[in-house]
Structure 1
Amino acid sequence: MANTEQIRAPKQPPLLVQIGILAAMTAAALGGGWMAGSYLKGTEVPPPAAAQNHDKAAEPQPAGFPQAGEGGVTLAELPSITTNLAAPASVWVRMDATVVFDGPQPPETVEAIHQDMLAFLRTVRMHQVEGASGFQHLKADLKERAAIRSDGHARDVLIRTLLFE
């Protein structure tokens, strides 16, 4: 016969020990977070030096948009593109975009990019542009097509307005 007094539930540590362990783990987490934060703060890239030419009044632009003339960058606003999608044909799209070039480009290049984007948007189906990933894929496709039409001079395509009706 087994002695029932020998089989007992394991004893739990006292409440004071549990609180002490919890406090030590909290302190370790705070210290690790503080160290990671100070490390990341130390690796920040300093902002670029102010432009040497202060007498030009630049139009303020949203963060992330390159300023015209910055590092040889040229912005070319495309005329609005309005067309219907491939499927469903009853859905219309209007897009306003700007192409960022690495230097000045002839108007024929900008017009060729505009016409190519118009032709491309006519082939797009609604399910291809749904959601954030669909928008990113559309932007990547437009950027690639602009680079091909400009022989690699187009750096980026900035979509200012994209409206479906």
Structure 2
Amino acid sequence: MAAAVKDAAAEGPPAKSGPSLVVQLGALVAMTIAAAGMGWVSGGFMTGEKSGSEAAAHAPAAAGAHGAKSEGGHGESGGHAETAPHGDTLVPLAAVTTNIASPSDVWVRMEVAIVLDEPQAHDLPGIVQQDLLSYIRTVKMHEIEGASGLRHLRENLQERAAIRSDGHVKQVLIRTLLFE
């Protein structure tokens, strides 16, 4: 028995199995470079998708929003229209405050601005706002939870506004969205 113990001790430590430390570090460096390259490429796609009119439409909405009341009874729903450099018109709508369909004790306050391809009749923003209000009242909480729910909400608001305006609304910008 003592001879068996001596033979095992004479062999030394068991041989390593698997790749060497140099191969592991090389794989780590290669994966890091690949990840950085994919991040750079996807960042280029994400910033390349914004059109100039979208960037111009965001600037006035964030820089100085006008009041939520109509000015002087001209029929606009939420303030003064601003003209973007590309001929688009940004029209902030009055805030929408209502409860949603389910659960009915949850209230939502939403401030929206629309981007029109050209100046339209003064009653168009009010018509679009009323349609968006009626849509928000049909929404259920589980439909708008998470990032995909918010994306679907934006798409639905965009579609309804485009239909209501005969295609003159190019974009719906959600400025604030608050649930209580």
TM-score where L is the length of structure 1: 0.65
Identity %: 41
Alpha carbons of structure 1 residues 123 and 24: separation in structure 2 relative to 1, 3 Å: closer
Pairs aligned (count): 136
Matched to 1:160, the amino acid is R
- Answering whether residue 137 of structure 2 is matched by residue 135 of structure 1, we say no
Q: Hey, what does 1:86 align to over in structure 2?
A: 101
Matched to 1:119, the amino acid is S
Alpha carbons of structure 1 residues 24 and 96: separation in structure 2 relative to 1, 3 Å: closer
Partner residue of 1:18 out of 20, 45, 69: 20
Q: Hey, what does 1:118 align to over in structure 2?
A: 133
- Answering whether residue 160 of structure 2 is matched by residue 158 of structure 1, we say no
Alpha carbons of structure 1 residues 22 and 150: separation in structure 2 relative to 1, 3 Å: same
Name structure 1 gaps, 5 residues minimum: 1-10, 47-57
**Superposed, which structure 2 residues align to 1:22-61 within 5 Å?**
22=24, 25=27, 36=37, 61=62
Q: Hey, what does 1:146 align to over in structure 2?
A: 161
Alpha carbons of structure 1 residues 127 and 13: separation in structure 2 relative to 1, 3 Å: closer
CA distance in 1, matches of 2:33, 2:151: 38
Q: Offset of 1:130 from its aligned partner?
A: 1.3
Q: CA RMSD in A?
A: 3.4
| SS of corresponding position for 1:70 | coil
Matched to 2:177, the amino acid is L
